[in-house]
Amino acid sequence: MCLSILSLCFLPHVGFSAGLLQSKQNPNLELDMVDHQVHVVLNNGFSRTELIQSFHNRGEQPTEAIYSFPLPKNSSLSEVTLEVNGKKLQGEVVEKEKARKVYEDQKAQGKDSALAEKNDFKSYEVSVGNVRPGEDVRIRLLYYQPLEIDLNIGRYVYPLKEGNTDDQKIPFWSVDEELQGSFSFDLELHSAFPVKDVRMPRWEQQARITRGNPNGEEESGPEVIRASLSVNESANLSQDIVFYYRLADDTPARVELLTYREHEKEDGTFMLVFTPAADLQPIQRGSDWIFVLDVSGSMSGHKISTLADGVGKVLGRLSPEDRFQIITFNEHAKDITGGYIPATAAPEWIQRVKSLKADGGTNVFAGLRKGYRSLDEDRTTGIILVTDGVANVGETAHARFMDLLKEQDIRLFTFVLGNGANQPLLERLAKASNGFSMNISDADDIQGRLLQAKAKVLHEAMHDVQVKFKGEKVYDVTPGTQGSLYVGQQSVQFGRFRGEGPVEVTLSAKISGQPKSWTVQADFPTQDTEYPELERLWALSSIEEVMQDVRLNGEREALRNEIVALGTEYSLVTDYTSMLVVEDAAFENEGIQRRNADRVAKEEQARAQRAQQPSAPKRIDTQQTFGGSPAPSIGNGSGPVGPLFLLVLAWMKQFRSRRKQV
């Protein structure tokens, strides 16, 4: 059912991309983007992305370069370095207003400086002051993200295409996405479990895939998979890059624990990942499906025609016991079916759906409200919201959306098209309703993403998921609530711990109303310096939970101060902190501590040590029973995803990448 509706996501799109911002009032900017280099490392549950963008001033006056790129999901922008004539300046995180003031002062004095800021949920914007005539400057950015495994498939996205959803940005800026030099992308996958296949949609012919051990020698067993591609001329920054990897078929369900603790006198940080089996039963009874479709102006052109085609295909694939309703929204919401329609009448509606037109603003609230007010209490119902934009018309407060969800107990599935949509709101709505949110890039392999979505929507889920730690060693666990887990999903939590030794970890949930629980034992170390990056990931997750409070209840000084404290302590760019790059003397004059310089040094040392050895599993369940089985499982399924994995396996085999065989 959802398999076809999401086909709307693969379409040409005209809009902003990553690139050089240029004021429409001053179109004579004489800056060029030269080379763009990207290096990615995927290792044990998180990714590290480093990008280097070079600029050249071909004019006769010093000028400011402003570079924008889409906000990567759940990312922590942690390093910004400016290189001018061989001199490197490293950034420090400062409260946003102060960082902007110091940057403007340094720029006015003709000093080398840079500033990285977060533009809400939409993008990062990096300003480089005083690019001098004939001069080349390089800006280096580094961010971390937790990785997700879904139906045994890992997915990494390097976002470049913006979503054309920033109403204030569109009329003011034009974006130069063209590179005058080369584009290069290199990715290393360090996997603790064997990898069967990899895929880079749309880059199958250009990408080079190799396998080897950490020292580059070809071998079997633990390995590093490297993917690289390059464009030497006429490149632009307008297309996301997506990398998929499929773990071996016999990869077990598991519980993994990564820890960091510099020494015994300080508390430690952990990341806990449950990957349960997924023998969750299909939903057999007839259901009602309410499609809430965005037909606002940003969906015009190919988007609306592809949406219509996708919905038309869905209508032809519903089971005879199903019913459907179609609600469209732009500035207002409209029930175009006039209530529920039996699935047997679907052919009559296909042409009507294909006649949909797109224009106007985006009143998401109106569309959802109409859907929620047409429920039949005697039927199982799911609402599928498809949008590429932000709530910019009508009710926009997060609290009002949450109040709407409380009116009915119904699953909401949100499908977020591209970059730039209000991901925090859409994810929160889905989680609060025991549904799920799925982000779709225009560079995704749509067939695989839809298989994942279909499996989730049409099968049972684990509801009221909770992870509890027995003992006082663990505190500040984030996220605090898990919501529901669907087929193939993982539970990922971060936290802090004091002391050392054993702690009991229990995951509990309800499946079809029946309570289930699984318990394992973990050991916290006296010292473990392998993954210092965990501290930033924990802080980022903690900040996002505080930001949810801000978005729901409004900004309060205590919440703002908490975010500023976490951002400056762990060197993260947030809504209230920025990364400031100035000369050492300016940092000293402003009394700004060099926290990030010390943190970066520890992380670089740890990365160098990890690079010399294979990635090892961090399982904590291997010697214990988990739910009555030798390995963690739910029901009677084998492996982490049960029979549903066969569909995804067939997809990956059909589209297997060209790669160098071992």
pLDDT digits (tens, 9 = 90+) for 178-227: 888 899 999 999 988 888 889 898 888 888 999 876 555 544 446 789 99
What pLDDT is attached to residue 287? 80
C-alpha span between 388 and 9 (Å, rounded) = 9
What pLDDT is attached to residue 662? 28
Model pLDDT for residues 406-426, shown as the tens digit of each residue: 877 788 888 777 777 788 888
pLDDT category at 629 given cuts 50, 70, 90 is: very low
Q: What is the pTM of this model?
A: 0.83
Cite the beta strand spans of 295-402 per DSSP E: 323-329, 333-335, 341-342, 380-387
Residue 598: partners with Cβ closer than 8 Å, 6 or more residues away: none
Model pLDDT for residues 256-309, shown as the tens digit of each residue: 999 999 998 899 999 998 887 656 777 777 788 888 988 888 777 656 765 676
Reading phi first (left if > 0) and then psi (alpha if -120 to 50, else beta), residue 360 is in: left
C-alpha span between 427 and 22 (Å, rounded) = 32
Tell me the β-bridge partners of 46.
43, 146
pLDDT beyond 90 at 462:
no
Specify the DSSP element, H or E, that contains 82: strand 76-84
Domains of the chain and CATH, by start: 12-247 (2.60.40), 284-457 (3.40.50.410)
C-alpha span between 142 and 533 (Å, rounded) = 12
C-alpha span between 363 and 369 (Å, rounded) = 10
pLDDT beyond 90 at 78:
yes
Is residue 490 a contact partner of residue 273, using CB atoms and an 8 Å limit?
yes
Tell me the β-bridge partners of 137.
55, 84
pLDDT category at 28 given cuts 50, 70, 90 is: low
Cα–Cα distances (Å) from 398 to 189, 420, 429, 460, in that order, read 38, 17, 9, 28
Exposure class string for 560-580: b at 16+ Cβ within 10 A, else e: bebbbebbbebbbbbbbbbbb
C-alpha span between 442 and 444 (Å, rounded) = 6
What pLDDT is attached to residue 180? 86
pLDDT beyond 90 at 151:
no
> Which residue is listed with tokens 């759940």?
74
